[in-house]
Structure 1
Amino acid sequence: SPDDTRIVYTPICREFRTWKRYTGGRAQDVWIYDLVKDTAEQITHFLGTDQHPFWYKEKIYFVSDREDTPADPAKPIKLNIWAYDLGNKSFTRVTDHREFDVLWPSGHGGFLAYENGGYIYKLDLERGVSEKLTVNINFDNPNTLPYFKNVGEFMSEFGNSISPTGKRVAFDARGDLFTVPAKEGITYNLTRTQDIREMYPTWSPDGQWIAYISDKTGDYEFYLIDSQGKGAPIQLTTDKKGWKFPALWSPDSQKLLIYDKNRQLQALNIKTKGLTMIDKAQYNDVDDVEWSADSNWVVYTKAGSNFLNGIWVYSLTEGKSRLLLDNTYNNYSPSFSKDGQYLYFISDRDFNMSFESGFSNQEFDFVYNKTARIYALALTKDAPKLFDEKNDQEEAKAAAAEKPQKEKAAAGKKADDKKPAPPKPLKIDFDGINERIMVFPLPIDQYGTVIDLDDKVLYTKAGNIYLYDLKEKKSSPMLEGVHGWDLSADKKKILYGQGNKYGIV
């Protein structure tokens, strides 16, 4: 108050809420507290909002979404400034904004400043007139001048790709594409564009191209750019079908698997730019997409009506998809072995109740937090078993037979160095395929990914990367605390992220 003996306040703080026309238990009212008499008086009893009181002379100004009596139904209800007369205890509307609410008033002397619709107004309390202010901000515009910026902290977690042999890495940062040397050399900006966002670079296995997504046309489309930065980018798609996800190169560097938010998985021929529809999901996104080594098969997961994933394969030669493993159990992370004999995958098939964590990865009513194992599926009937069946038997010892001299000599010879043979065409015997599932001798846990590395298998668990040796039949840790990784095309190097840093091993 002007004589400093009373204060006006609201017991409830709710001004920062965005609730409109609120009449619940946290609706505010205005009170006066007498510092001399130690008494409080409630002066508003409106069901809605009364807030931001300001005392000037014999009136208290506040913001309210109350209306005149009778209210005009043609006028939208908004927060406005009202005045309470301490003498006759009457309420008077001061402002009449009908498009936006009056927000954050601040008073000084005989004036109130407030915001409405993004503009600042000044209310003269003596005259009861509001004036919209024109705000001019004069400054040197330093951010419009050219400057150097280290974009390392702006690299996208999902926009990185290791080169085929791990010598360089492609990143996207601040809308441009960069390639960075693994050890020594120059960092190249491949795109150098303004007002265009390039993202999700993926390096072709032959090292020639980098596929990426750009909004150059106003819609996200797929493009190719030479990995050395030579020549102009090549636009691959023109479908304008919304958000797209990173592409996946075929091992022969001739095709890309592309996926969009319409849940369509397609194969894109980079020479003809032709698109082949592989599948369209109904219940959830198509996920866990991988190529076979011969570039003729695609494996992926797709949810059924129970929202558990089945594993599907698509033959580019036959032009059709087939269900490989149904969704009785939740299956994920399938990948072909390089020799084409096996499909590795993870599946939730062990239901061991646990109370170590509050939620299950199956559903909320039952706590089954460790349900997954890593499996191998023999794609053909003649594929050898990876693991010996455990069955304790007492066997009679037999005398070791002497190897023929010719066999000894052959075993002692070293194989001549040869160029890698082209991958054999993949063959799948669908008949009786469920009977050829083998489980890895690893504990039940929460696994993330499994990928073939010839005589080893890479798998992830709780942010850590492990290697399982198929010959030694044992697992060993490789990297810990990893939040993202990418395997080189030759499967000899891996790009990984730890914290805000990246490394290659």
Structure 2
Amino acid sequence: MKKTLFTLVFCLPILLVAQGTQLLRQPTISNTEVAFVYANDIWKAPLNGGEAIRLTSDDGYESNPHFSKDGNYIAFTAQYDGNVDVYVMPSDGGEPMRLTFHPDGDFVQGWTPDNRILFRSGREGQPTKTNKLYTVSMNGGLPESIGLDRAAYGELSNDGTHLAYTPITSWDPEWRNYRGGQAMPIWIVDLKTKELITTPQLDKERHLDPVWFKEKVYYLSERDYTSNIWSFDVKTKEEKQITFHKKFDVKSLNAGASQLVFEQGGYLHLLQPQTGVTKQLNITVNSDVTFSRPRWESVSASNLSNPNVSPTGKRVLFEYRGEIFSVPKENGTWRNLTNSPGVADRYPIWSPKGDKIAWFSDRSGEYKLVITDQNGLNIQEIALPNPTFYFQPDWSPDGKYIAYTDTHYNIWITNLETKQSSIIATDSYAHPNRSMNPKWSPDSKWVAYAKQQESHFKSIFAYNIDSKKTIRLTDPLADAITPVWDASGKYVYTLASTNYGLQSGWLDMSSYDPEVTRSLYAIVLNAEDKAPVLPKSDEETVEAKTDSDTNKKENDNTSVVVKIDEAGLLDRSIAMTLPDRNYVALLEGPKHTVFVAESVPNTRGLTVHHYDVEKLKATEFASGVSQMVATADRKSVLLNQNNNWHLVDTKSPPKPGEGKLKIDIKTKLDPKAEYKQIFK
């Protein structure tokens, strides 16, 4: 028995190795060899499998290899010299020859019967971005159009009289079982008469990768909800399913003189068209996999995401590639707080006192809430009850709670003392904008958020942490978004639309919906407080001054008490004096001020206005803004302009280049550790 077990254990690695290397892509076949893409390089191997030979090794990627009819050359697409063009080289290897020079990308589709190279390009796709098919001599020269106004993926018949093709490219080819407007049959056109026939499309399924084998067109179809090979006889119009895979889709079909080759399950397979018999090729690729070696990488400002600023604007937290970085405003150096290439650390946030930092981490396998000091040390983990992804944390001003959302459109609150988490709200419908983002009141007693109603209009709600009561703050007949608390605790600002209505849906790609405009509103929470837009009159008043008044600090949120009177609350939603426009977001400002972001047509980024509620005056603060984050004391704001980060004062509009952060971050990458995190 022990001998048998030893034999099985000993043989298992041999069996695994015998399967060959996976992730072999885009195969092409000749009479004796198969070429393919592995790790963005082109390799080839014998038709019966075995050890592969590397043909290219440039830093730029190579793709779409195609053997010439005689098997002596390989045409392919390569990203050399900063551009994507057509190249050709001997099938035994050698120096590639560049054949196209247009700035637009050129992608090889195959060869013509007269030994020219067929490729697609969007070089003439104006005003709409469409592709056409062209041919170019393997000896160079000007490309020639094949005469169709629109074509993407295709191949010529053996006699060159017909073209089987798809007219458009897919913006998301990995959308499995897609049944939308981009799902098209294979078009087969007579290039002389322009007579057109199509493959049968019975379930609005997608047909891809057409190739010719004798009088038939072979292609990939998702009719049975897995991508399989089908054939279509051009003369008899007979359609037939050839493969019947259920688990992994068939990819990258290519035809040779006597058989077909395709990718499925990460391996390459041969198909005998006459019998329908398939055979997996066991190919071994002995690559140096330089892309997987640990290396140092410089991080550009444009690649930093999910910023958060320390309470007084001394440092900024960023996320990059699952690492959390702390960057100084002026003095000091950046710090990598995590140093964990095999862990995804997400959404950092600074505590209101500035002594702690929190983020979500999947170090244990599922995401937990991690809390550390500002140097990333003294780690404390809080288990979260629902294994999922989490977003948009907001730390309560008293430091006791963190509110956040999850993939399932819930708002959670975690008590940092008891380490208990609870759901306070769930959105009614899924939407890619994820607009619930919770916001704490200045006294840490309320959480404001936007939630969709049955009408799909969003209303602003406030949840009380003590009573567990939820109050609607806005009229359900208006679509309200992005709530912001005034530092005084008297108002909640929101952007609301009264012309928001039925739309075609966020997955639609062809309709043109009516323009939505929004206005700025201030919701007066306490019935005893006055609206900020009431007429003002200069009068003499006499008030008794107490010691508490003398010692009171304007920006001390500990003295703020938020009171919400439900009676007449909807009537206390006051429109500000800003004209209604395409406002998209609000950001908290100093007391009685708010930042309003506007999307202006034909401009890059957002225009941010600084609105003074008491003076009823708006001042343009910044333009070309893509992100903005305020400090807890509301005295500074972080702006992303033209892929640069600027930390500026909120008192006045910044000058060009003012407050620009020096981003000189370097991080050590360990791709193999990242792979384990990505695919676990």
Q: TM-score, normalised by structure 1?
A: 0.73
Alignment of 1:95-106 (within 5 A): 98-99=244-245, 104-106=253-255
Corresponding position: 1:489 with 2:632: yes
2:414 to 238, 245, 268: 268
Q: How much has 1:52 moved relative to structure 2?
A: 3.0
Say whether residues 1:499 and 2:603 are aligned partners: no
Match of 2:291, SS state, is helix
Residue 288 of structure 2: aligned partner: 140
Counterpart among 313, 323, 326 of residue 166 in structure 1: 313
Contact 1:202–1:248 at 8 Å: present in 2 too? Answer: yes
2:451 is aligned with 1:451? no
1:116-135 correspondence runs (5 A): 116-117=263-264, 118-121=266-269, 132-135=280-283
- The structural deviation recorded for 1:119 is 3.5
Given that 1:203 and 1:209 are in contact with CA atoms closer than 8 Å, whether structure 2 keeps it comes out as yes
1:354 matched residue in structure 2: none
Instruction: Classify 1:195/1:436 alpha carbon distance in 2 versus 1 (closer, same or farther; 3 Å).
Output: same
Match of 1:79 in 2: 229
CA displacement at 1:46 relative to structure 2: 9.1
Q: Provide the rounded CA distance (Å) in 2 between the counterparts of 1:446 and 1:40.
A: 47
Structure-2 residue corresponding to 1:321: 470
Q: 1:192, CA displacement in angstroms?
A: 0.8
SS in 2 for 1:210: strand
Name the residue aligned to 2:497.
Answer: 348
Instruction: Say if 1:197 and 1:214, in contact at 8 Å, map to a contact too.
Output: yes
Q: 1:211 to 1:278 in 2, by over 3 A?
A: same
Using the TM superposition, name which of 492-501 and 281-290 deviates more: 281-290
Gaps of 5+ in 1: 67-75, 352-360
Q: Which amino acid aligns with 2:338?
A: T
Deviation at 1:293, TM superposition (A): 0.9
1:265/1:286 contact within 8 Å kept: no
Q: Tell me the equivalent position of 1:178.
A: 325
**2:287 maps to 1:150:** no
Instruction: Specify the alignment match of 1:308 in structure 2.
Output: 457
- Tell me: CA distance 1:487–1:39, structure 2 relative to 1, closer, same or farther (3 Å): closer
Q: How does 1:60-459 map to 2 (within 5 A)?
A: 63=218, 79=229, 98-99=244-245, 104-107=253-256, 112=259, 114-117=261-264, 118-121=266-269, 132-152=280-300, 155-157=303-305, 159-231=306-378, 233-283=379-429, 287-349=436-498, 351=499, 361-364=500-503, 369=515, 371-389=517-535, 421=556, 422-447=558-583, 448-449=585-586, 451-459=588-596
- Measured against aligned partners, the alpha-carbon deviations of 1:159-209 in whole angstroms (never above 9, x if no partner) come to 211111111111111111111111232111111113210011111111112
Residues 214-260 of structure 1: CA deviation (Å, up to 9, x unaligned): 122222232212211222x3222331332211211001111101222
What CA deviation, in whole Å up to 9, does each residue of 1:74-115 have, x standing for no partner? Answer: xx996379999xxxx9x9x9x97554769533436xx65622
Secondary structure of 2:570's match? Answer: helix
Deviation, structure 1 residue 470: 3.5
- The aligned residue for residue 159 of structure 2 is 7
Equivalent-residue separation in structure 1 for 2:576 and 2:220 (angstroms): 67
SS, match of residue 149 in structure 1: strand
1:69 aligned residue: none
Are the counterparts in 2 of residues 121 and 132 from structure 1 also a CA contact under 8 Å? Answer: yes
Q: What residue is the counterpart of 2:212 in the other structure? A: 53
Aligned partners of 2:570 and 2:230: how far apart in 1?
A: 70
Cα distance, 1:307–1:27 mapped onto 2, change above 3 Å: closer
Q: Write the letter of the residue equivalent to 1:183.
A: E
Q: Residues 29 and 141 from structure 1, CA distance in 2 versus in 1: closer, same or farther, beyond 3 angstroms?
A: closer
Residue 273 of structure 1: how far off its partner (Å): 0.6
Kindly provide the CA deviation profile for residues 38-69 of structure 1, in whole angstroms up to 9, marking residues without a partner as x. 99999x999799963367xxxx7864799xxx
- Distance in 2, matches of 1:314 and 1:504, equals 32
| Alpha-carbon distance, 1:385 to partner | 3.3
Change in 2 beyond 3 A, CA 1:420/1:106 = closer
CA distance in structure 2 between the partners assigned to 1:40 and 1:370 by the alignment: 45
1:461 aligns with: 598
Q: 1:348: Cα distance to partner? A: 1.5
Answer yes or no: is the 8 Å Cα contact 2:486–2:592 preserved in 1: no
Contact 1:8 1:30 (C-alpha < 8 Å) held by counterparts: no
CA deviations on 1:92-151 (whole Å, 9 max, x unpaired) are x9x97554769533436xx65622424445689999998654333333332333321013
> Shift of residue 466 of structure 1?
1.2
Alpha-carbon contact 2:317-2:324 (below 8 Å) kept: yes
Task: Give the letter for the 1:314 counterpart.
Answer: Y
For residue 436 of structure 2, what is the amino acid of its counterpart? D
Distance change >3 Å, CA 204–CA 123, structure 1 → 2: closer
For structure 2, the residue ranges without an aligned partner over 5 or more in a row are 1-68, 71-112, 115-157, 202-206, 505-511, 600-605, 649-680
CA contact (8 A) 1:30 1:53 kept: no
Q: Which moved more, 1:327-336 or 1:111-120?
A: 111-120
The residue matched to 2:383 in structure 1 has which SS? coil
Partner-residue secondary structure (3-state), 2:296: coil
Bigger mean CA deviation after superposition, 128-137 or 160-169: 128-137
Aligned to 1:143, what secondary structure does the other structure show?
A: helix
Which is higher, the Rg of structure 1 or of structure 2? 1
User: Which is bigger in relative contact order (C-alpha 8 A, separation at least 6)?
Assistant: 2
Contact map agreement 1:213 1:246 (CA 8 A) in 2: no
Q: Retained in 1: the 8 A contact 2:405–2:437?
A: no
Query: Which one-letter code corresponds to 2:596 in the other structure?
Result: Y
Map 1:470-481 to 2 at 5 A. 470-481=613-624
Distance 1:127 1:470, change over 3 A: closer
Q: 1:221 to 1:30 in 2, by over 3 A?
A: same
